[in-house]
Structures are given as C-alpha cells and as structure tokens.
Amino acid sequence: MEENVILIENDEEVLKERCGLAEERILMFPEPLTDPALCEYFTVLRDFIRTCGKERREQKKDRAVNELLFRDLQEERYPQSWLDPAYAVKRAGGIGQLLAVWYAECLSLIASLYEKKIENTAAVLETTIQIFNIFEQDEIIDKEQAVRDVIYDYLYDYAAMMTEDYLKGNCDPDSSFAYDILMNADLSDTGDHSWLYSYGERITGEELLTARLLSELPEEMIEKMAEAYTDGYIRGFAMTGKDIGKKSTVLCYFPLGLDRFMRASVRRFEAAGLRVILNRHPVHLINARFAGNVQPGIYGALNAQFEHDHREDLALFWGDKLKACRLKALDQAGVKLEEKLRKFSGRACVEIFGTAAETPRTRPEAPAYSEYQLQVSREYLQKDHELMNRFMPDEETSFNIIAWPAPSIADVYQARTGMEPAAAYREIFEKIVEINTLPVSRWQEIQQCLIDALDRASFVEVHGCEGNGTDLRIMLHTLIDPASETNFENCLADVNIPAGEVFTSPVLTGTCGLLHVGHVYINGYLFRDLKIRFEDGRVQEYSCENFSDPEEGRQLIRRVIFRNRERLPMGEFAIGTNTVAYAAARHYGIEDRMPVLIAEKTGPHFAVGDTCYSYEEDLATFNPDGKRIIARENECSALRHSAPEQAYFRVHTDITLPYEELGLLTAVSPGGRTDLIRDGRFVLPGTEGLNEALAETGGAV
C-alpha cells in the first residue's frame, strides 16, 4: 500500500514538474518568431496560459479572473480573436484554421486547473510547445501539415486517458467536483453568488440573474420544480416497464444559475435511492466537444457562433484510424468502469432557453466533414452504441428533460410593458413553472379523446392557413386488435416535460407532402420560413429564408436539423395539446424563444430522424388505459436486426407547426373524416377545453 502511494505521489510530482517546465517555456513566446501573425497568435496563447497558471496557484475564483479566462468568448471580442476561424485564416492563411482549433482545445485548461487534472494540463501545454517549435525550424517546409500531424498525435496518444476520464466523470458518483460545489455553496438570497465562479465555466450576467431569481423564489416553488423533474424521471421507468430498483446512480445535466433547483433535485433523487452525478460538458476535442442535440453536463454561458464554428473541428483529423482509436479507448474504459456503468440509470437533463441571438453563420473557414468522414462518423456512432449497450443496455436505462427560461427572455415583454426587468423575468419564469407542473390528470383525459379518434384512422391530413403552405398526409399503422392496441402514446410529463402531446411513429410508405413553418426555434437556432418536402416518409427537398443565399440556408438546415444526414425519415408525428404554453408564448412575445421541448407541445409536430422508440422497439409500452402501443418502428428501424447500420440515424429533431398556422388537421378512416383541429381550434368533442387558454389571450381563431 505504501509503495503504491509513493508511486502516485512521484507521478504527481513528475506531472507538476512537466507543467512547470512547459509554462516556463511558453512564457518566452513568441521569441524568436518574426512573422506578425504568428507572433500575435502565440502571444495570445502565452497570456492565456499565464492567466491559467496564475489562477491554478492562487485559486481566486472571482469575476475578474473568469472574465479574463473567457475573454475571447465574449460576443463582441470573438470576431477579432484567434478562436474565430475566419479571423485566424484572414491573419495566417490556411494554417489559421488549425491554429483556431488548437486555441479552442487550449480552453480545456480552464476546466483542468479547477479540477486539478494535471495530466490533461501537461498534455495541452507540451503539445502547444511542439506546435510552436514547428515555426522555429526553417527546414520544415510544409508547416501546415506538420501542425496537423502534431495535433493528430495528441488526439491519438491521449485518447485513452481523456476518454476514460470523461466516461468516469459520467458514471462515478465519487467524481464529485461539481457535486461538492453545488451542495456546499451559499445559495441564499443574501449570498453574492460567487460560488458560480468555482466551476470553471463562463459566467455572465445571465447566470447571475438566474441565480438571484432562484434565491428569491419561495421554497415551495423550488420543491415543485424539483418534483416535476425528478418524479417525471422515475415515472419514465414505470411507463416503459423498466426496473429502476436495479440502478443506483443518475447523471444530471444543468446550466449554471439553476443551482438551487438542482440542489433540491439532488436531495429528491437521493431520497429515492439514486446518487447524483454531475460532470462537466466535454471539453476535449477527442470527446467531441459539441456533439448532440442536448447540451451535456454542467455548463455556463455559451457563445453560439463559437459553438457553430467549432462543432466539426474533428473533421481536420477524422478518419478510419482515429475512429478505431476512439472505439478502442471507449471499449477499454467501459471494461474498466463496468461495475459503475451497470449501476447507471440514465440522464436527467435540464436546459435553459430564451436568450436572443443572431443565427450563427456557416463560414467556409470553419472545419466541415467530408462525405467520407460523415460515413465514418455513422459507423462510429453505431459501434459506440453497441459498445455502451453492453454495459448500459437500452432496456434498463432512461432519460428525461425539462427546460427553464433565461433572464433575457423577458426583454420583449419588459420593453412593451415598462416593467422592471427583474419583475418581468420573474413573471415569465413563474409561468413556465406553471406550464412544467400542470396537472397531468386533465391532459390524460383530453388526450385520450384524441387517441381514440386517431386509432380509427388510416391516415392524417394536415393543412396550413394564412399563407402557410403545409399540405401533408401521414400514414398510420394498422391495429390488429383495437381493443388492446393503440398507435399513439399519451404523453404525460415523464421523459418529456411538460405534459401535452400524443405521438406516434408513422408508416413511411405513403407519407408525403410539404411541411412549412413560418418560424421555429430548433437547437438554439431560429429558422424562418422553413420548408421540408417528404416523399414516402423521407426528406426530398428543404429550404429556409434565414439568409439571402438559399444555399446558406440549406447548409444550416443540414447541419442543425439533419445533423449532416440526407433523406431522413419522418420519425414522429404528434399533436401538441399544451395550449397554456402556446398562449403564454404569445402573451409574452416569446414564440421564437421557446425551446423545442415546450414548443413541440404547442401544435402538431414532426420529427426527422429516428422514432421516439429507437433501440427500444421490442419493449412493451402501455398507455394509462392499458392499451399496448404498437407503432414503435418504421421501415427504417425494422432493419435493426438484419442491417443495423441502416436502421438508425442518431438524429431526432422536432419541428412544430404552431396553431395559428394550422388550418385543418383531420383523421381519415374508411368510414369518413373526423376533424380534430380547425382554424387553430380543437373541435373534437371532449377536447374543447383546450381552447380556453387560446381564448383568454386572443389566441388562434
């Protein structure tokens, strides 16, 4: 035992010495370079790394240090920083793209210094010196390739360490860096919220204002918020027939500022027998910094253009060899952490929404995957799922998601009413609390009326109005035994909060027509005049009016909505019934700020990509009335046993058609036609109560 301790101490001392020597060398940058652009770049890295080193030693954890560390992520500074690939290429030519990618990787030093991850720090610092040395050597002719090779070697050499580190943080409750901060911080209304700077995340006025509001909310409201989130997660297991009693941990994602809500949630989860794990979002390129539709982990303020520019940084290095390296690293880490992974129940996610921002531009200087690389990525994702499914089977894990508003969501309402900003924000926040905690019993009864009518139909027709060109036919599965089977799930605020939708997996063959939405907020982007045409359930054409150049709009759709896929199937058709959320959005002028999670409940919506039951098609799921949901697959996911590489897309993006753009939604059966919604109002007997919220605020007519 003593020998092991000595070895560990010696290793740590060696790592500290390596970091110290590297910092000393970096402090000499940019000499002896003379090229103005390179001198500027390495001076920026030098100053950033010096700030990191100083904070590592002093641990001030205050606002001034935070602003200095994240200086180039400030929206006004970013376009003139070396993080911006457009600026970097303008200053240094083609090699600037690589330099911007490496600066983005250097930002991981912030997380490493607060979490005391010395090996990660040493890896980044020493690689920075290797890159600098290339420019000192005249004999290296192709410096761009040399830099690319150095970064590739860094990714390859440290893949095992960084993959295991991130996976461990996601499944080991003893990795308690963020947990300890959250549970020990002074979250009272008399506090200065300075604990937020301890996480090592970018903190702006938004996070501080959110924390301030939550500190002022009554305890019963905080508990109500936490109950909706935690109880919904646990109910999701019961709904799908999964045994949560076999599990003992849950991974929670949340944006900083919502700490008081999360602390209450942690206590509720722990009272239910689940230890909570809080891990940071991935910061290293090898772990795919910006993968996924949901922002993972704990995180601070985001810079939308930075994330958009760097979302495909790995394209500069990606291929079969690096794919194999990552899969091997994941396999080894999984085996090592198998016991902890077996106890893992799933992810309980929290989002924040409402910040006004310009739509990020897709610039030619930003890295982008080639078609070959996209195919390699698809192969990787399939193998990645197969590997993790060995340790965390889909039939044993679950998830859920809830969303809360950010302070800037109130700007339109505040300007219109003249209210104090804090008061306007609180009013909207409390309304979202009401929406997220609506009584499910009322919605269960109303939604059952819709399901009963839909289960008699062969297909559904959807038509727009008031200039909306939507004209869709959605084919439904045939029920063999209508007395015990149903096509639609009665969604009641378990995995997707709030309540308010019935959904199904359509039959692709025969599903066709145009989906047109005037404006819709998807994955942080506002799409204007979005049009998608389907043929036999697959995307054929698409466009939006975000930019004057139609091709730029198509690129945005392909990247954000389709996740670089083509001809995605319609994986879901649903009818949103949460008219309370719809009316609130119109009242406060925040229709274009609502997240998909809530917006999908405010009209019929359509998901491109996988079905809602991907990887769980063979599980039996029942509605509250006892009927088994049989529409769990389509012609794509039916290939899961014979050709799994063609069955799934790892994409599921919801697109909502709001009530005011909806002219007619009709269930068509062999016996006739039944209108469910007409001119934005529910007309099916038993659903008229949903119109009350619309009428109160002059909603759809």
Q: 421: pLDDT confidence band, cut at 50, 70 and 90?
A: very high
User: What is the spatial distance between Cα 630 and Cα 623, in angstroms, rounded to a whole number?
Assistant: 11
Question: Which strands make up the sheet holding 489-491, listed edge to edge?
Answer: 489-491, 501-504, 570-576, 604-609, 652-656
What is the phi/psi pair of residue 474, to 5°?
A: -115, 120
State residue 9's pLDDT score.
43
pLDDT at 466: 86
- 288: region left, alpha or beta (phi > 0 left; psi from -120 to 50 alpha): left
Residue 698, pLDDT score: 52
Q: What is the mean pLDDT of residues 77-101?
A: 98
The token duo for 500 is 């308010």
Confidence check: pLDDT of 130 > 90: yes
- Please say whether the beta carbons of 578 and 501 come within 8 A: yes
Mean pLDDT in residue range 600-608: 93
- 30 half-sphere exposure, CB direction, 13 A CA radius: 15
Segment 403-429 shows an average pLDDT of 95
Average pLDDT (647-663) is 92
The answer, yes or no, to whether residue 263 has pLDDT greater than 50, is: yes
pLDDT band at 159 (very low <50, low <70, confident <90, very high): very high
Region 300-323: mean pLDDT is: 95
- The CA dihedral of 370, 374, 380, 382, to the nearest 10 degrees, is -170
Question: Stretch 578-587: mean pLDDT, rounded?
Answer: 93
Share of the chain above pLDDT 90, in %: 84
Residue 701 scores a pLDDT above 60 = no
Q: What is the mean pLDDT of residues 599-620?
A: 91
pLDDT of residue 607: 96
Query: 3-class DSSP state for residue 367?
Result: coil
List, for residues 493-549, the tens digit of each pLDDT value. 788 899 999 999 999 999 999 999 998 888 778 899 999 999 999 999 999 999 999
pLDDT digits (tens, 9 = 90+) for 665-696: 999 999 899 999 999 999 999 999 999 988 86
**pLDDT greater at residue 189 or residue 438:** 438
pLDDT above 70 (res 49): yes
**Among the ranges given (152-166, 264-278, 338-352, 435-449), the one the predictor scored with the smallest mean pLDDT:** 435-449
Dihedral angle sign, alpha carbons of residues 295, 283, 176, 57: negative
Q: Residue 189: what pLDDT?
A: 66
What pLDDT is stored for residue 700 in this prediction?
A: 41
- Spatial distance between the Cα atoms of 517 and 8, rounded to a whole number of angstroms: 59
3-state secondary structure 281-345: CCCCHHHCCCCCCCCCCEECCCCHHHHHHHCCHHHHCCCHHHHHHHHHHHHHHHHHCHHHHHCEE
pLDDT at 305: 94
Phi, psi of 351 (to 5 degrees): -115, 160
With 60 as the cut, is the pLDDT of residue 492 above it?
yes
Contact call for residues 233 and 250 (beta carbons, < 8 A): yes
pLDDT at residue number 296? 92
Parse the chain into domains and list their residue ranges: 2-157, 169-296+321-353+396-404, 439-696
Give the pLDDT of residue 291.
57
Local confidence band at 371 (pLDDT 50, 70, 90 cut-offs): very high
pTM of the predicted model over 0.75? yes
Of residues 425, 400, 454, the one with CA closest to residue 577: 454
479 vs 591 pLDDT, higher one: 479
Judge whether residue 60 has pLDDT over 90. Answer: yes
Q: What's residue 41's pLDDT? A: 98
Q: Residue 7 above 70 pLDDT?
A: no
DSSP secondary-structure letter at 487? S
- pLDDT band at residue 5 under the 50/70/90 scheme: very low
Report strand pairing: 344-353 vs 249-255.
Answer: parallel
Cα–Cα distance for residue pair 178/181, rounded to 1 Å? 5
Interval 255-259 mean pLDDT: 97
At residue 11 the predicted structure's pLDDT band, cuts being 50, 70 and 90, is confident
Q: Are 242 and 398 in contact (CB under 8 A)?
A: yes
Residue-level pLDDT at 68:
98
pLDDT category at 3 given cuts 50, 70, 90 is very low
User: Does residue 294 have a pLDDT over 50?
Assistant: yes
- pLDDT at residue number 6: 35
pLDDT, position 648? 92
Which residues on neighbouring strands pair with residue 486, listed in sequence order? Answer: 629
- Looking at per-residue pLDDT, the higher value among 281 and 595 belongs to 281
Mean predicted lDDT score pLDDT of the chain: 93
Which residue type does 372 have?
A: Y
Q: Give the type of residue at 23.
A: E
Question: Of the candidates 553, 560, 562, which has an alpha carbon nearest to the alpha carbon of residue 530?
Answer: 553
